[in-house]
A and B are shown apart, each in its own frame.
Chain A
Amino acid sequence: MVVGDVTTAVDVLVLGAGPGGYVAAIRAAQLGHHVTLVEADMPGGTCLNRGCIPLKALLSSSERYRQARQEEPGVMGIHVEALTLNWAAMQDWKQGVVNRLAEGVRKLISGNAIEYVHGKGWFINAQEVRVEGEYGSHHFKFDHCIIATGAEAAPVPGLPYDGKQVLTPEQALALPALPAALSIYGDDYIALELATVFARLDVEVKLYSPGEQLLAGFDPAALRLVQAGLRKLGIAIATKTPVEKITTITEHPVIISNGVCPRTADLHVSDADIELTANNGIAVNSMQQSSVPNIYAVGDCIGGQALASVAIKQGKVAAEVLSGQRVQFAPLVIPRVVHTTPELATVGYTTQEAAQAGYNVVTGRFPLAASGRALTLAAENGAALIVADADNGLLLGATLVGPRAGDLIGQLTLAIEMGATLTDLSEILYPHPSLSEIVLEGSENAQGRAIHILTKP
């Protein structure tokens, strides 16, 4: 890298090395491009460094701690004499997981001969980006550009995030010490997962939700199971709380999960004539093309659902499109997972949504309490809910509640995308005993012929 304000012509320039950006960079490199990847922070982005991965690591460690304290080990004949919690060590282990994955991403970047530039980039015009970083200022004139700058916590007017009393979810995951009590504001999966982590670690948690219901778009029956799980952890839930009132209601530190907004403000998109959507996301078509030819955008910066799964796929699409392929981002369904106790996962339509969409709906239900595998896991709180078209048995949606629901949902995602029917799901074999059998029994129940529960008359 050259010091000073020099212009370098590059083939593909990717702004942002999160799941959308680094995946786009790798796919573009696989397709024979010379790729320059610009990142102001760490490779791996929010998901790997400050979001999903650290959160899931803490969910996992806090769950083990919690389980050791519960009655189940005793029933199984395990007596825990003494149990201590070391938050600093837990943080270290979490950071170890993050570091290992980040190192993996770095190796993939260099292994694909991608030029990694540490710095912050913005547009000068529709062909050039200026990057300011440790090596000074630099101009890049690109043939193709992929914007993958992600999103950041949406600000709440009058409530600046100070990292002490008012925290973003990212800040909460790196708290130096565990507080005795915490308030969490939000109704999305992040709020629920944070509440779960801290409650498991004996923090007194109160959850404030803006509306009446938590987790919009999830099946109400499944939500009841999740809410019961939250209460069992001692989490108090207050509904219909206006966000601006939150600090007047509680004196404890508040974590606010108020959604994210696309990180586009510092990109100077107007200098490149890149159009934005109403919520400041970069406007793109299904081929991830922005309003400017040869400029693409993927992931959270376009302002859709902030999900790494979406960003990863969009990154591949953008790289393939700029390589001349005709592909698009058009998944039929997007699976969503919430790592509470019990775990919740859903894909496709809920019963209500399917009916609203005009389908003649048939549903199947199978409780975990009737599953042999669930009982051997001492986890009988949960169910499978299967939604199908009554006319032809076409699978329209599924909600799973219980251990590994987020892993099991993959099978149902494939089934919906392939256009599988209840008959398809009933014909194949499932390992026995296994949690995946709840999919079988749920599908059979929808056809009135589940074996392990009594079919309603």
Chain B
Amino acid sequence: MQEFKLPDLGEGMQEAQIVEWLVGPGDTLKLDQPIVRVETDKAIVEIPSPVAGRVSEIRVPQGQVARLGEVLVIFDTGSGAAERPTAKTTTTSTAATNGATAAPASSVQAATQTGQRVLAAPAVRKLAFELGIDLAQVPPSQPGGRVTIDDVRAYAERAKAALAATPAAEQQKVESGVGAKVEAARREGQPPTTGQERREPLTGLRKRIAERMERSWRTIPHATAFDEVDGTALAALRQSLKPIAEQRGVRLTYMPLLITLLIPVLKEFPIFNASLDEERREVVYKQAYHIGVAADSPEGLLVPVLRDADRLTLIEIAARLEHLIEGARKRTLSLPELSGSTFTLNNVGSFGGSSGTPIINYPEAAILAVGRLQEKAIVRDGTILARPMMPLALSFDHRLIDGALAGRFLARFKDLVENPQQLMLDMIVSIPNGR
């Protein structure tokens, strides 16, 4: 018999939802045969079998959330069956509540944990469970790491205050998720409902989006600068390049063009490709230009990352972008394709919107939203002209960036979009091998 625990599938992963079991009890398994599809906050991943043998028991049913290190399935490997260590299966101590259980407290908690227990009186532990708080996360106020009722309440208050910052419409949904520490809520029955509302726990991607937005909005003092750019030259450029791109099998949208035009601006204004190390109070300037691109998926917003955008040609950017957007839609992207961006470009226009106020993709310093190109009446030299205009909205971390600088950043970007031929001045012509 061998237990298989939910392995660490990538940075910061704490839990995953079982989307589908691909095997059932009694099934015979080959090594590396996919056994289960799980959804982390970032992607749907197929986990291959670490052993050859038979499925003895499935511990976490489909649809439920498993914590990192929780036993998912038990294999009957017989003797001498192929076996290999799973990828970094760190066992997390599930809860502090039974840290020092001496006699096996009950069949439910047979696993005696040897980790040092969090010192807290029974009433404190009861309150923590009620509020869905992991005691190990609560900073103790007492010497010797003792956690008091007040510590738990204060911790809960802080979590609540963070929620208050989210828009009211979202808040109700988020609240039901706050207490829902998955560990004990796994098989919790439906929360009580009245006829007036329907409650659903936040899970998977939605839960992570909520956490991300909450964190960004709570920590970063947002300010947003607006502008509008004349898209005539941009539209003309796209029209002229589109057929050639198509010959190479790539569909050229505005996005790759805008990214190409954005890179020199980011290089001129490095603070926009930076982040604030809050702990050490240091500004971290990024040498790489990984551009996050907001994309829609059936489950919600995803931000796939175009890595090293400054080293890619326009056609390469277009090709990769196509892959990323498609992958986001199908939820097939790998974790590196979904993390590590240094600046985010949000094409509100692709979702049909004309403009919007973007929320910074934490911990980045700024995010640029571009709206739909629409013909508008503008005045130039005393004459009213019809021009395809594109709205811009730049949200920035006001701790690092002032309004004036944001204005200059937008002005420079606008200048480049309206006069894209400027790019020629700094261009190194790189022709990919074989062309």
Contact = CB atoms under 8 A, between A and B. Distances in A.
Interface in B92-136: 95, 97-109, 112, 114, 117, 119-122, 125-126, 129-132
A396 B100 contact: yes
A418 B129 CA distance: 16
Contacts of B34: none
A418 B121 contact: yes
Interface string A312-332: 001000000110111111111
B130 A286 contact: no
Contact of B129 (A284, A330, A350): A330
Interface residues of B, number: 39
A359 to B, nearest CB: 9
B179 interface: yes
Nearest to B100: A332
B97 A302 contact: no
Given A302-B108, A332-B98, A357-B112, A327 B122 contact: no
A325 B131 CA distance: 10
A270 interface: no
B435 interface: no
11 contacts: A285-B184, A286-B109, A293-B187, A304-B104, A305-B103, A326-B131, A330-B109, A333-B101, A334-B105, A334-B106, A336-B103
A334 B119 contact: no
A321 B192 CA distance: 11
A357 B129 contact: no
Nearest to B57: A278
B190 interface: yes
A115 B63 CA distance: 37
Interface in A357-395: 357-358, 392, 394
Interface string A104-123: 00000000000000000000
B105 A331 contact: yes
Contacts of B125: 330
Contacts, number: 111
Contacts of A302: 106-108
A217 interface: yes
B432 interface: no
B106 A305 contact: yes
Contacts of A392: 144
A227 interface: no
B75 to A, nearest CB: 16
B121 A419 contact: yes
B119 A286 contact: no
B189 interface: yes
B408 interface: no
Contacts of A332: 97-101, 105, 117, 122
A328 B129 contact: yes
B126 A327 contact: yes
A281 B184 contact: no
B108 A286 contact: yes
Given A324-B192, A358-B114, A392-B144, A330 B100 contact: no
Ordered nearest first, which 7 A-B pairs have the shortest CB separation? A304-B107, A419-B119, A349-B102, A304-B106, A330-B97, A348-B102, A293-B189
A11 interface: no
Contacts of A418: 121-122
Contacts of B188: 287, 289, 321, 326
Query: What is the interface residue range for chain A against chain B?
Result: 35 or more
A217 B102 CA distance: 9
Given A287-B184, A333-B100, 16 more contacts: A285-B184, A285-B187, A286-B109, A287-B188, A289-B189, A293-B189, A305-B107, A314-B106, A327-B130, A328-B129, A330-B95, A330-B125, A418-B121, A419-B119, A419-B120, A419-B121
Nearest to A278: B57
B160 interface: no
Given A328-B129, A332-B97, A332-B98, A357 B114 contact: yes
Contacts of B267: none
B198 to A, nearest CB: 16
A277 interface: yes
A417 B102 CA distance: 12
Nearest to B112: A357
Interface in A263-314: 277, 281, 284-287, 289, 291, 293-294, 302-305, 310, 314
Nearest to B132: A326
Interface in A191-214: none
Among B102, B107, B114, B179, max chain A CB count under 10 A is at B102
Contacts of A304: 104, 106-108
Contact of B130 (A217, A325, A417, A419): A325
B107 A281 contact: yes
A132 interface: no
A326 B107 CA distance: 20
Interface string B4-44: 00000000000000000000000000000000000000000
B189 A353 contact: no
A348 B144 CA distance: 21
Interface in B142-199: 144, 146, 179, 184, 186-192
B51 to A, nearest CB: 21
Contact of B104 (A305, A328, A357): A305
A397 B112 CA distance: 15
Nearest to A289: B187
B116 to A, nearest CB: 9
Nearest to A333: B102
A408 interface: no
A179 to B, nearest CB: 34
A348 B102 CA distance: 5
Contacts of A281: 107
Contacts of A284: 108
Contacts of B122: 332, 417-418
A260 to B, nearest CB: 13
B106 A324 contact: no
A217 to B, nearest CB: 6
Given A293-B190, A419-B120, A286 B103 contact: no
Given A304-B108, A324-B191, A419-B146, A285 B103 contact: no
Given A305-B106, A349-B102, A291 B187 contact: yes
B126 A417 contact: no
A293 B185 CA distance: 12
Interface in B184-240: 184, 186-192
Contacts of A416: 100
